[in-house]
């Protein structure tokens, strides 16, 4: 075959391959979404290249800050002014605090394990060495409804805590009259729910749980600092003192009732027991219960002792003006910088 003939054949084959490549692909053979995927990838690459091109260098960033200094300054001043206004409106609060700890066990005896086991068998709970249990109950009871009810009966604390909602002249609770209250009442009535109820022991208990702060010492977890914040320093100290005393009295009364029932039960058992060893154990149980009853009747603390009595701060402890102003300055700078960046991006 001549050279010219071979070139002609090669050109014919190349033209056939080119025609095959340019021919449309049948619908059933064309990969689905291929074109859309290529388009999306091209878009992403274009955006990435554009974003990379728009990245600010340090020099450009500093230049942007300098050009936007008045925007940042205005936003900063507005933020600090708003923070100062909120601090001006805030009501100063004083902190009343005290430190408590569990009582040492004064009723435990050597060999009490066997006595406790027998007490459980015959249906009596002997709690020698239960100071920690009483202490845990004490901390839980400080914000209980029972404590709130006792506070109301003892010092009428419901009216003191919710003083703004009590009409002393009419001797009745004042129903809230604000716009938000009226909207809430209207919605409640529309859905057939009770719109409002005067404060009760349940509300006072919730207030105590939300207001009393118990902080355990790091080195001695049983030692707890109890604190309470209120705008009225005298009320803060009086309420914290009454909460401690009332809670201790409640646990004391509960223990006195159970101890009296145990003593009555043991006396009845002893009168009907003739076995000497069994009778001896019952007498030991009775002696423990009578000792507990004697200790309950004293004026000493029952469930928790006071290491540091109630004292109230001489100056307001909240709001912390310096801290909140510093937060306002930082927030203003960040907000001003964000505004400047948004404006810059909008322009470019």
| C-alpha to C-alpha distance for 218 and 225, rounded to whole angstroms | 11
The pLDDT mean for the chain works out to 81
CB 266 within 8 A of CB 290: no
User: CA 37 → CA 21, 41, 47, 100, 278, distances in Å?
Assistant: 21, 6, 15, 70, 90
Average pLDDT of the segment spanning 255-263? 92
Strands 166-167 and 172-173: antiparallel
- Does 103 have pLDDT greater than 50? yes
User: CA 178 → CA 81, 183, 187, distances in Å?
Assistant: 27, 9, 14
| C-alpha to C-alpha distance for 54 and 49, rounded to whole angstroms | 9
| C-alpha to C-alpha distance for 131 and 100, rounded to whole angstroms | 13
Q: Give all strands (DSSP E) within 189-335, no chain letters.
A: 213-216, 224-230, 304-312
- Does 31 have pLDDT greater than 60? no
Rounded-to-5 percentages of helix, strand, coil across the chain: 65, 10, 25
| C-alpha to C-alpha distance for 112 and 89, rounded to whole angstroms | 60
- Region of 129 (left: φ > 0; alpha: ψ -120 to 50; beta: rest) is left
Taking only the tens place, the pLDDT of each residue in 107-126 is 344 344 444 545 555 555 55
- Does 73 have pLDDT greater than 70? yes
| C-alpha to C-alpha distance for 91 and 188, rounded to whole angstroms | 31
Average pLDDT of the segment spanning 213-225? 91
Instruction: Rank 9-23, 108-122, 237-251 by mean pLDDT and report only the highest.
Output: 237-251
Extract the tokens encoding 127: 């709690």
Exposed/middle/buried for residue 266 (C-beta within 10 Å: 0-12, 13-18, 19+): buried
DSSP character at residue 93: B
Confidence of residue 19 (pLDDT cuts 50, 70, 90): low
Average pLDDT of the segment spanning 65-83? 91
């Amino acid at each position: 075959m001549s050279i010219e003939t071979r070139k002609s054949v090669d050109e014919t084959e190349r033209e056939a391959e080119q025609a095959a490549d340019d021919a449309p692909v049948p619908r059933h053979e064309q990969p689905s979404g291929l074109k859309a995927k290529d388009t999306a990838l091209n878009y992403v690459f274009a955006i990435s290249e554009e974003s990379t091109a728009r990245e600010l260098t340090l020099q450009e960033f500093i230049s942007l800050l300098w050009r936007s200094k008045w925007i940042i300054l205005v936003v900063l001043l507005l933020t600090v002014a708003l923070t100062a206004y909120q601090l001006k409106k805030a009501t100063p609060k004083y902190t009343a605090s005290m430190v408590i700890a569990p009582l040492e066990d004064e009723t435990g005896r050597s060999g009490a394990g066997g006595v406790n086991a027998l007490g459980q068998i015959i249906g009596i709970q002997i709690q020698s060495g239960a100071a920690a249990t009483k202490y845990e109950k004490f901390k839980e009871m400080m914000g209980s409804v029972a404590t709130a009810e006792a506070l109301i009966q003892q010092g009428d604390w419901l009216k003191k805590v919710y003083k703004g909602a009590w009409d002393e002249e009419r001797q009745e609770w004042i129903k809230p009259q604000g716009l938000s209250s009226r909207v809430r009442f209207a919605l409640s009535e529309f859905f057939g729910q009770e719109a409002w109820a005067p404060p009760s022991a349940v509300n006072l208990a919730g207030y105590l749980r939300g207001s009393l702060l118990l902080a355990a010492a790091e080195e001695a977890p049983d030692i707890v600092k109890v604190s309470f914040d209120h705008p009225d320093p005298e009320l803060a100290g009086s309420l914290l003192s009454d909460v401690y005393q009332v809670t201790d009295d409640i646990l004391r009364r509960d223990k006195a009732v159970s101890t009296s029932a145990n003593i009555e039960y043991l006396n009845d058992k002893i009168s009907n027991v003739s076995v000497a060893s069994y009778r001896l154990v019952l007498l030991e149980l009775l002696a423990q219960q009578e000792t507990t009853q004697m200790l309950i009747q004293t004026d000493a603390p029952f469930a928790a002792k006071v290491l540091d009595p109630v004292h109230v701060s001489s100056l307001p402890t909240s709001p912390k003006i310096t801290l909140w102003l510093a937060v306002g300055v930082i927030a203003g700078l960040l907000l001003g910088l964000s505004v400047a960046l948004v404006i810059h991006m909008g322009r470019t």
